Amino acid sequence: MTYVLLTFACLFAYAGGLIILVRVTPMLLTRAYDEGLFMVIMAGDVFGGIFVFGAVALTFALFSGNFPVRVLDLFLLVGITIVGLRLSYKSFGSHRAGIHRASRIVAGSYCLLLALAAFYYIVLLFTRGR
């Protein structure tokens, strides 16, 4: 019973992390990278990334990597990849007034690295360990 509750807690943390990423990342674009508020917002963005990857890692560890959990983790990682690529595209593609170039690069790179890390873990998910 506790495994089911922990799985639901992981899914809530995953959803919360995605919401944090989607809502907080666009706020980075209007701040200069050397502002204190930029650092606070970026810390929130990093916590969102920790929540989404922590949910994947915890469900994988709880069930010792059984096949149904691997499929669940695959869907979670695909969601991270899609959100990361979408946010990266929006960050790199923003050329409006009031958008700082360095902030676009930092936010876009962070989201692109999240997507690449998720894709890397998708590959590792279904390869055999030695």
Contact 78, 114 (CB under 8 A): no
Of 18, 37, 31, 38, nearest to 87 (Cα)?
Answer: 18
Q: Residue 99 has what DSSP assignment?
A: -
Could you tell me the pLDDT band of residue 92, with boundaries at 50, 70 and 90? confident
Q: What is residue 130's predicted lDDT score, i.e. its pLDDT?
A: 52
Using CA atoms, how far residue 71 sits from 56, 62, 68, 107, 121, in Å, is: 11, 14, 5, 29, 12
- Mean pLDDT over residues 27-48, rounded? 88
Query: Is residue 96's pLDDT more than 80?
Result: no
- Mean pLDDT over residues 57-72, rounded? 90
Query: Is residue 95's pLDDT more than 80?
Result: no
Contact 65, 89 (CB under 8 A): no
Query: Is residue 53's pLDDT more than 90?
Result: yes
- For residues 75 and 107, give the distance between their C-alpha atoms in angstroms, rounded to a whole number: 24
Q: What is residue 66's predicted lDDT score, i.e. its pLDDT?
A: 87
Q: What is residue 129's predicted lDDT score, i.e. its pLDDT?
A: 61
Q: What is residue 14's predicted lDDT score, i.e. its pLDDT?
A: 95
Q: Where are the domains positioned within the chain?
A: 2-125
pTM of the model: 0.89
Q: Which parts of the chain fold into alpha helices (H)?
A: 2-28, 36-62, 67-92, 101-125
